[in-house]
């Protein structure tokens, strides 16, 4: 019996929807499969899989070793736990594109901050769970260094909205593109698309492609401090 084209189409759509609404482990707990160092074809010397955790052990290398996924994502919900060392700093990127001109993931991908708030001096725009240098967090108290914090990052380009939930608390939403996003960037260290342009922000860096990509990789930051991640999983959204 021949299956009508309409039935085949329905089966295909249902199958795609099913795949797009299931949690997928980005880290299998035992290997570095699915990850590599930014702008590299290997996993570097400082990242390892140990005891179900993705571990960064600072070895004071000259080159940066931000870690990124092999695959790219557009609309998704990302869930993970992080555990920072005393005085430590790290981050979680989305929308990362590997471009030779830019030596670190933060120059293309926006970052949700990972930080030991108690022992690392930072403004409200740089504290744990902030959309780094773009949206501040006030009164948010992460668990101290050595303990696990849980973050959920939702990215929905169809509706131009991102959202951060931290340790079970819905913290804030933010635009992903358009005038509102441009306004956020204009007041940040990522505002310069001219290497020689001086702005009012003391730490302005050359990032003309920052936040420009709807589709990109998930990244974990090498900021030179020991940090651990676990239960890293993602749901693709249509």
Domain containing 71: what range? Answer: 24-236
Whether 193 maps to a domain, the answer reads yes
Separation CA 86–CA 199 (nearest Å): 33
CATH number at residue 65: 2.60.120.560
Whether 2 maps to a domain, the answer reads no
Nearest to 52 by CA among 238, 236, 228, 234: 228
How many domains are there within the chain?
A: 1
DSSP state of 3: P
Whether 160 maps to a domain, the answer reads yes
Nearest to 88 by CA among 133, 57, 111: 57
Whether 9 maps to a domain, the answer reads no
Whether 173 maps to a domain, the answer reads yes
User: Whole-structure pTM over 0.85, yes or no?
Assistant: yes
Nearest to 168 by CA among 211, 129, 112: 129
Contact 128, 112 (CB under 8 A): no
Whether 119 maps to a domain, the answer reads yes
Beta bridge partners of 101: none
Helices (H), the chain: 5-20, 178-186
Taking the alpha carbons at both ends of the chain, their separation in whole angstroms is 33
Per residue of the chain (238 residues), what is the pLDDT tens digit? Answer: 444 444 434 334 444 444 578 999 999 999 999 999 999 999 999 999 999 999 999 987 878 999 999 999 999 999 999 999 999 999 999 999 999 999 999 999 999 999 999 999 999 999 999 999 999 999 999 999 999 999 999 999 999 999 999 999 999 999 999 999 999 999 999 986 554 455 555 666 889 999 999 999 999 999 999 999 999 999 999 8
Whether 8 maps to a domain, the answer reads no
Whether 19 maps to a domain, the answer reads no
């Amino acid at each position: 019996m021949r299956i009508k084209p309409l039935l085949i189409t329905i089966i295909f759509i249902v199958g795609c929807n099913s795949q797009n609404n299931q949690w997928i482990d980005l880290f299998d707990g035992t290997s570095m499969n699915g990850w590599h160092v930014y702008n590299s074809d290997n996993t570097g010397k400082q990242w390892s899989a140990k005891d179900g955790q993705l571990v960064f052990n600072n070895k004071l290398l000259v080159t940066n070793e931000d870690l990124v996924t092999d695959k790219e994502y557009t609309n998704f919900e990302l869930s993970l736990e992080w555990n920072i060392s005393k005085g430590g700093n790290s981050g979680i990127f989305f929308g990362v594109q590997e471009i030779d001109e830019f030596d670190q993931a933060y120059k293309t991908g926006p970052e949700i901050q990972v930080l030991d708030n108690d022992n690392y001096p930072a403004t409200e725009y740089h504290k744990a769970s902030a959309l780094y240098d773009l949206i501040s967090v006030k009164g948010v108290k992460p668990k101290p260094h050595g303990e696990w914090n849980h973050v959920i990052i939702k990215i929905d380009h169809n509706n131009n909205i991102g959202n951060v939930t931290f340790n079970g608390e819905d913290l804030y939403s933010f635009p992903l593109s358009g005038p509102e996003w441009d306004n956020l960037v204009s007041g940040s260290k990522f505002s310069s698309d001219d290497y020689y342009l001086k702005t009012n922000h003391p730490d302005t860096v050359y990032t003309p492609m920052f936040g420009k990509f709807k589709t990109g990789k998930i990244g974990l930051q090498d900021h030179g401090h020991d940090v651990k991640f676990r239960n890293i999983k993602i749901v693709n959204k249509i």
